[in-house]
Amino acid sequence: MKYLYLTLWLLISVPVLGAESEHPLLPADISSPRATLNSFMENCEKAYRLLQEQGRDTDDEQAQSEIHEIIRNIAHCMDLSEIAEFRRESSAKEAAVALKEVLDRIELPKEKRIPDLEMMTNKDGSLIERWTIPNTEITFHLIQEGPFEGSYPFSSATVNRAHEFFQRVTHLPYKKGATEGFATAYLTSPGSVWLSEIVSRLPAAAQERKNGQAVWQWVGLGVVLFLAALLMAIIYSIGRRVSKGGAAAGMTKYLLGLVFPILAVFVPFKTIGIVTDQLVISGTTLYILKFNLSLLILFCSMVVVLGIGRRVGEVIASASHLQAQSVDAQLIRIMSRLMGFIFAMVLLLQGGQHLGVPLSSLLAGAGVVGMALALSAQDVLKNVFGSIMLVMDKPFRIGERIKVKKYDGIVEEIGLRSTKLRLLNGHQAIIPNEDMARSDIENIARRPFIRRVTDIPLSIGISAAEAKKSVEIVQELLKDHEGFNPEFPPRVWLNDFERDHLELKMIYWYHPPDYWKYTEHADVVNRQILEAFEGAGIQMALPTFTTRIDKSSGGAIPAPEST
């Protein structure tokens, strides 16, 4: 029985791969029901005999190659096309064990009565589509397209119902030469020597089967899943702590945070290996476990891909020639995250197909989910697209002073959702990027100069000579003034006659546009004008008011004539 366990373990644990034999690419002969049945029985018995001689944990490379070839040929005898890729290997092994148990108990027709290719060919040259072993539902069917066109493997229905067939014949005795206990060994034998020693010391009650598994398997499964969940929680906790604060907390620490989601991928991956190869869980329980663990692997892999996208963007954006919060840096971040999202979606589609979900269903589901997300997150999407427009148009940069809507301030940050301004009064304004993209923006920081336009009120009673003198005084004061640019000469003229004063217009341009130096210069110019006018006896107009007396009411109502 020990050697039988060794045989079974290698039979169910070695993946279906090519062998290094004389003809490593030659598949099992499944050209007819007779050929398929002979190939299947021969390879099962061959594996049993070989592993009896070599033992369970053989290091003989030649023996391992032969086992690989045997497993490949056994799987080749079955139609696994309707089984999801992630469970094909386990399904092939379980179906093989169950079918071998059935064929070792029932009476088969004599070999000459099992149809070969000639017997499966009609008179018109067409092939008969199926053949069923008499008095059973075990069927061989014709593959009509694909790489195995024209072959007769066990039908997909037979593979799916193999365990059912086995349960219906367990009361029948074995035939002579059968591999007795094949299924029992597969369903209860541990997957390693040390675990076999532990299980052998357990009481008989631990060997009893409950709901498809031995008691010791249920206990082991609970321990393995608990430890896996605990390890995942620890990895998540440490990873979250390391990545806290993002790139702002330190690039090295931020990059190190990616290690933990990568480790999280290996936990369910290793758990599948332990559950399948060590605990030898089988049946529906195994399928449910593998599906959910594979789904967890897919989710963790998507997190890794998205994390890589974010970190690549931060690494590029942190280059010395880019400001951390500049528009160019934000564009790099957005594009990196977008690429990460695209790769994650490709991974989702590929992983979904591996789990047996049709591509059409995945695309339809993605469309429904995308529409639902779009409807529920319209504002978020508008802001994201608004940020993309700002990144592409670049109407402002970090540190520039802008006017938008009712706000006037310095740009502090350009995010994916909003832009932050530090207003001149010290307050911070947070404006959604959707509004920023739709609003008229006045970028004060990008002006090449500061233009000053001032009206100087002169007294209505001054003479023409004094008016002319006032123009000449201001022109002289502005000649080659501080911040002067020959391309922008100052302009001074008597502009208009108002009701209570004459209006002298003064325009000049200050270069470069340093606001505080401009204000200092404006103060100097104002004082010089006052001093020059005072010295020349030119009077400036003062605001006047006229008071009207309303005799009917007996009150006085001041009415300003000018300000």
- pLDDT tens string 303-327: 888 878 777 777 776 664 555 555 5
Same domain, 175 and 219: no
Cα–Cα distance between 24 and 70 in angstroms, integer? 11
Residue 423 belongs to some domain of the structure: yes
Residue 194 belongs to some domain of the structure: no
Same domain, 163 and 18: yes
Cα–Cα distance between 114 and 37 in angstroms, integer? 9
Residue 545 belongs to some domain of the structure: no
Q: 473 burial class (0-12, 13-18, 19+ CB within 10 angstroms)?
A: buried
Same domain, 218 and 177: no
Number of C-beta neighbours around residue 368 at 10 A: 10
CA-atom Rg of the chain in angstroms: 44
Classify strands 545-550 and 555-560 as parallel, antiparallel or unpaired. antiparallel
Domain boundary among 430, 445, 460: 445
Cα–Cα distance between 411 and 398 in angstroms, integer? 5
Identify the domain containing residue 502 by its residue range: 447-536
All residues at 6 or more sequence positions from 504 whose CB lies less than 8 Å from its CB, including other chains: 455, 456, 457, 458, 467, 470, 471, 474, 492, 493, 494, 495
Question: Quick check: 332 pLDDT over 80?
Answer: no
Same domain, 148 and 30: yes
Cα–Cα distance between 429 and 376 in angstroms, integer? 26
- What is the maximum alpha-carbon separation in the chain? 138
Among 65-69, 364-368, 369-373, 513-517, top mean pLDDT goes to: 513-517
Residue 248 belongs to some domain of the structure: yes
Which DSSP category does 224 fall into? H
Question: Quick check: 368 pLDDT over 80?
Answer: no
Same domain, 133 and 274: no
What's the pLDDT score for residue 470?
94
pLDDT band, residue 476 (cuts 50/70/90): very high
Same domain, 304 and 289: yes
Question: Range with the lowest mean pLDDT among 268-277, 354-363, 520-529?
Answer: 354-363
Among 21-25, 316-320, 345-349, 549-553, top mean pLDDT goes to: 345-349
Q: How many domains does the chain have?
A: 4
Domain boundary among 445, 460, 483: 445
Q: What CATH code is carried by the domain that includes residue 398?
A: 2.30.30.60
Q: What percent of the chain has pLDDT over 70?
A: 76
Same domain, 35 and 162: yes
| Range 34-47 average pLDDT | 87
Same domain, 47 and 132: yes
What distance, in Å, lies between the first and last C-alpha atoms of the chain? 113
pLDDT band, residue 377 (cuts 50/70/90): low
Same domain, 75 and 160: yes
Residue range 123-143, pLDDT digits in tens: 888 899 999 999 999 999 999
User: Two tokens at 527?
Assistant: 């004082």
What's the pLDDT score for residue 288?
82
Convert 416-466 into a string of H (helix), E (strand) and C (coil): CCEEEEEECCCCEEEEEHHHHHHCCEEEHHHCCCEEEEEEEEEECCCCHHH
Residue range 146-177, pLDDT digits in tens: 888 899 999 999 998 988 898 899 889 998 88
Q: Which helix (H) or strand (E) holds 210?
A: strand 209-210
Task: Identify the bridge partners of residue 103 per DSSP, sorted by sequence position.
Answer: none
Question: Quick check: 10 pLDDT over 60?
Answer: no
DSSP for 64-88? HHHHHHHHHHHHHTB--TTS-HHHH
Cα–Cα distance between 324 and 320 in angstroms, integer? 9
Residue 562 belongs to some domain of the structure: no
Same domain, 400 and 460: no
Residue range 434-461, pLDDT digits in tens: 888 888 899 998 899 999 999 999 998 8
Same domain, 370 and 463: no
CA-nearest of 87, 489, 447, 543 to 288 is: 87
Task: Identify the bridge partners of residue 213 per DSSP, sorted by sequence position.
Answer: 210
Please provide the average confidence, as pLDDT, over all residues in the chain.
79
What's the pLDDT score for residue 189?
66
Number of C-beta neighbours around residue 531 at 10 A: 12
Residue 315 belongs to some domain of the structure: yes
Cα–Cα distance between 135 and 138 in angstroms, integer? 9
| Range 504-532 average pLDDT | 94
| Range 43-69 average pLDDT | 70
Number of C-beta neighbours around residue 243 at 10 A: 21
pLDDT band, residue 83 (cuts 50/70/90): confident
pLDDT band, residue 5 (cuts 50/70/90): very low
Residue range 207-230, pLDDT digits in tens: 777 777 778 888 888 898 999 889
User: Two tokens at 48?
Assistant: 């049993």
pLDDT band, residue 402 (cuts 50/70/90): very high
Given a contact cutoff of 8 angstroms between Cβ atoms, the answer to whether 469 and 538 are in contact is yes
Same domain, 340 and 264: yes
Domain boundary among 376, 405, 426: 376
| Assessment of whether the complete model's pTM goes beyond 0.95 | no
Cα–Cα distance between 104 and 175 in angstroms, integer? 6
> CA separation (Å) from 447 to 285, 450, 510?
71, 7, 11
Residue 198 belongs to some domain of the structure: no
| Range 529-548 average pLDDT | 83
Given a contact cutoff of 8 angstroms between Cβ atoms, the answer to whether 192 and 128 are in contact is no
Residue 381 belongs to some domain of the structure: no
Please list the alpha-helical segments (H only) found in 104-181.
Answer: 156-160, 162-169
